[in-house]
Chains A and B, each alone.
Chain A
Amino acid sequence: MAPIGSFLALAAILFCIGLYGALTKRNIIIVLLSIELMLNAANLNLIAFSRLGVSANVAGQVFGLFSMTVAAAEVAVGLAILIALYRNRNSTDVRDMNLMKW
Chain B
Amino acid sequence: MIAYAWLVPAIPLVAYLLLLALGRRVHEGVAAAIGVLATLISLVLSLMIFVDVAQGGGQLPYLWTWLTFGPGPGHTWQAGFEVNSLNALMLVVVSFVSTLVLLFSRGYMHGDPRFGVFYQYLLLFVFSMLGLVISPNFLQLYVFWELVGLCSYLLVGFWYEKPEAAAAAKKSFVVTRLGDVGLLAGIILLYLATGSFDYDDIARAIQTGGLQIHWIGPQGLATLGALLVFLGAAGKSAQFPLHVWLPDAMEGPTPVSALIHAATMVAAGVYLVARSFALFDASPVALDVVAYIGGITAILGAAIGLTQRDIKRVIAYSTISQLGYMMMGLGVAAYSAAVFHLFTHAFFKALLFLAAGSVIHAVDTQDLGRMGGLWRRMPVTASTFLFGALALSGVPPFAGFWSKDEILASTLAAGRPLLFALGMVAAFFTAFYIFRVFFLTFTGRYRGDRVPRESGWVMTLPLVLLALMALGAGWAGAPFTGYALERFLGEPSGASEAGAGPGVMAISTAVSLLGIGLAWLMYGERATSPEAWSRSLWPLYRLSFHKFYFDELYQAVIVRPAFALGKAFDWVDRRIIDGIVRLAAEATLAVASGVRRIQTGQVQTYGLITLLGIVALIAVSWSLLWGVRS
Contacts and interface: CB of A to CB of B under 8 A. Distances in A.
A, B bound: yes
B601 A100 contact: yes
A98 B599 CA distance: 10
A23 B601 contact: no
A94 B603 contact: yes
B296 to A, nearest CB: 74
The winner among A23, A24, A98, A101 for most chain B CB atoms within 10 A is A23
Contacts of B608: 23
A99 B604 contact: no
A23 B611 contact: yes
Contacts of B602: 94-95, 98, 101
Contacts of B55: none
A94 B607 CA distance: 13
B596 A102 contact: yes
B611 to A, nearest CB: 7
Contact of A23 (B597, B599, B600, B604): B604
B601 A98 contact: yes
A87 B505 CA distance: 107
A91 to B, nearest CB: 14
Contact of A22 (B596, B597, B600, B604): B604
A77 B223 CA distance: 87
Contacts of B599: 100-102
Contacts of A99: 601
A45 B608 CA distance: 24
A19 interface: yes
Nearest to B604: A23
Contact of B601 (A19, A31, A101): A101
A19 B604 CA distance: 10
A17 interface: no
Contacts of A102: 596-597, 599-601
A74 B596 CA distance: 31
Contacts of B611: 19, 23
Contacts, number: 30
Contacts of A56: none
A38 to B, nearest CB: 11
A97 interface: yes
Interface string B274-312: 000000000000000000000000000000000000000
B607 A22 contact: yes
For chain A, give the interface size range. Answer: 10 to 19
B600 A101 contact: yes
B374 to A, nearest CB: 80
Nearest to A19: B611
A98 B604 CA distance: 11
Interface string B586-630: 000000000011011111100110010000000000000000000
Interface in A47-102: 94-95, 97-102
Interface in B572-598: 596-597
Nearest to B596: A102
Contacts of B596: 102
Contacts of A101: 599-602
A97 B603 contact: yes
Contact of A24 (B597, B600, B604): B604
Contacts of B601: 97-102
Contacts of A23: 604, 607-608, 611
A85 to B, nearest CB: 12
Interface string A12-56: 000000010011100000010000000000000000000000000
A101 B605 CA distance: 12
Nearest to A26: B604
Nearest to A25: B604
A99 B601 CA distance: 6
B606 to A, nearest CB: 9
Contacts of A31: 604
A23 B608 CA distance: 6
Contacts of A19: 611
B622 to A, nearest CB: 16
Contacts of A24: 604
B618 to A, nearest CB: 13
A31 B597 CA distance: 25
A94 B601 CA distance: 10
Nearest to B607: A23
A98 B602 CA distance: 6
Contacts of B600: 98, 101-102
A19 B610 CA distance: 11
A31 B603 CA distance: 11
Contacts of B607: 22-23
A67 to B, nearest CB: 20
21 contacts: A19-B611, A22-B604, A22-B607, A23-B604, A23-B611, A24-B604, A31-B604, A94-B602, A94-B604, A95-B602, A97-B601, A98-B600, A98-B601, A98-B602, A100-B599, A100-B601, A101-B599, A101-B601, A101-B602, A102-B597, A102-B599
Interface of B: 596-597, 599-604, 607-608, 611
Given A95-B602, A100-B599, A101-B600, 7 more contacts: A19-B611, A22-B604, A22-B607, A94-B604, A99-B601, A100-B601, A101-B602
State the 9 A-B residue pairs at the shortest beta-carbon distance, nearest first.
A101-B601, A98-B601, A102-B596, A102-B599, A100-B601, A23-B608, A23-B604, A23-B607, A101-B600
Interface of A: 19, 22-24, 31, 94-95, 97-102
